[in-house]
Amino acid sequence: MRVIFAGTPSTAASALRGLSAASIDIALVITRPDAPTGRKQVLTESPVAVTARELGLKVLKTSALTCEENDFVAQVNADIGVVVAYGSFLSEETLGLLPKGWVNLHFSLLPKYRGAAPVQHALMNGEKETGISVFQIDSSMDGGEIYLQVPTVIEPLETAGRLLERLTSLGVSALVQVLPQIVSGILQGKAQDDSEKTFASKISRLQARINWSKSGKEIESLICAMNPEPMAWTDVNGTSLRIISAVQAESENQEIAVAGRVTVADGAVFVECGAGSRLKILEVQPAGKNVMSAMDWIRGFKAPHGLGFE
């Protein structure tokens, strides 16, 4: 069984390493071209390109599979393609190049959360369970037939980064299990129920801004969903402040709550939220500085009385 792997970010690199460790014959790795990163915009290889080079695998860097790239792919004589967060759609011509087509590892229990950011949307929405889906890629948006799904419980205060790590591990195990069955024709896909589909669009920085009029639980979920990127944030005295971690706290209900008002009690920093709730802030990151505890930040901030998040 010869496999072509297509992916770009660190999550895909972990999947590639896992498949290689399971002795999957990876004939070609496709990833997006080098891109400028960091403040200095240094041209940098994708994590998948770096991992493929370390593993001694053949790499094709392209942002789209056009006629020339398709000819190259066809010459590899692979049986099936595996896509994990490649970042580009595959054309009908590309999908027809391999005898068993292309499968995708998606980080949700389809048809829920089709799209670019299923993990973040699941956390934002306070889901208790999510999982992975291995499905056949067709011309639709994550709507192909499903070969295997593996559910998992979302842990309390689990961030998107941590959950994605766990889902990637589950996904690699699922791929190792089903790829030989798909290639041999033993395993057949099952159609999705489109009536139950939901979508998870790419997250913008604006969506990561905290609305303090929401409940403490909703804000807690948002902070977990935005970690490690783009990170939940708020404004304080005209400057941006990232909220790295926080947990819903009991409200004392001693007076009328003012959403966004910051208080310090028992050596901890609290923020009043909507619905009579409040949040205990654990870690923050001021603009241009390192992550620090909320108490260290507020000690150094020298805030005036009545400090509030905007």
pLDDT tens digit sequence for 144-196: 999 999 999 999 999 999 999 999 999 999 999 999 999 999 999 999 999 99
Mean pLDDT of 56-84: 95
Angle, alpha carbons 89-91-92 (nearest 5°):
135
Could you tell me the two tokens for 224?
């977990």
Cα distances (angstroms) measured from residue 121 to each of 34, 85, 127, 141? 28, 16, 9, 16
Q: Please report, for the chain, the start and end positions of each structural domain, with discontinuous segments joined by +.
A: 2-196, 206-301
d(CA 168, CA 185): 25
Cα distances (angstroms) measured from residue 92 to each of 8, 66, 101, 183, 238? 21, 11, 10, 20, 50
d(CA 259, CA 308): 8
pLDDT at residue 301 is higher than 80: no
What band does 61 get if pLDDT is binned at 50, 70 and 90? very high
Contact 211, 246 (CB under 8 A): no
d(CA 115, CA 80): 22
| Each residue's pLDDT tens digit, 88-139 | 999 999 999 999 999 999 999 999 999 999 999 999 999 999 999 999 999 9
Architecture of domain 2-196 in this structure = 3-Layer(aba) Sandwich (3.40)
Q: Tell me 145's DSSP state.
A: P
- For the chain, the average pLDDT equals 94
Contact 97, 74 (CB under 8 A): yes
CATH topology of domain 206-301: Methionyl-tRNA Fmet Formyltransferase; Chain A, domain 2 (3.10.25)
Mean pLDDT of 212-234: 97
pLDDT attached to residue 304: 55
Percentage of the chain modeled with pLDDT above 70: 97
Here the contacts of 286-294 (C-beta below 8 Å, separation 24 or greater) are: 286/239, 286/241, 286/242, 287/239, 287/240, 287/241, 291/244, 294/268, 294/269
> Which strand ranges, in their side-by-side order, compose the sheet holding 59-61?
59-61, 25-31, 2-7, 80-84, 102-106, 129-136, 146-153
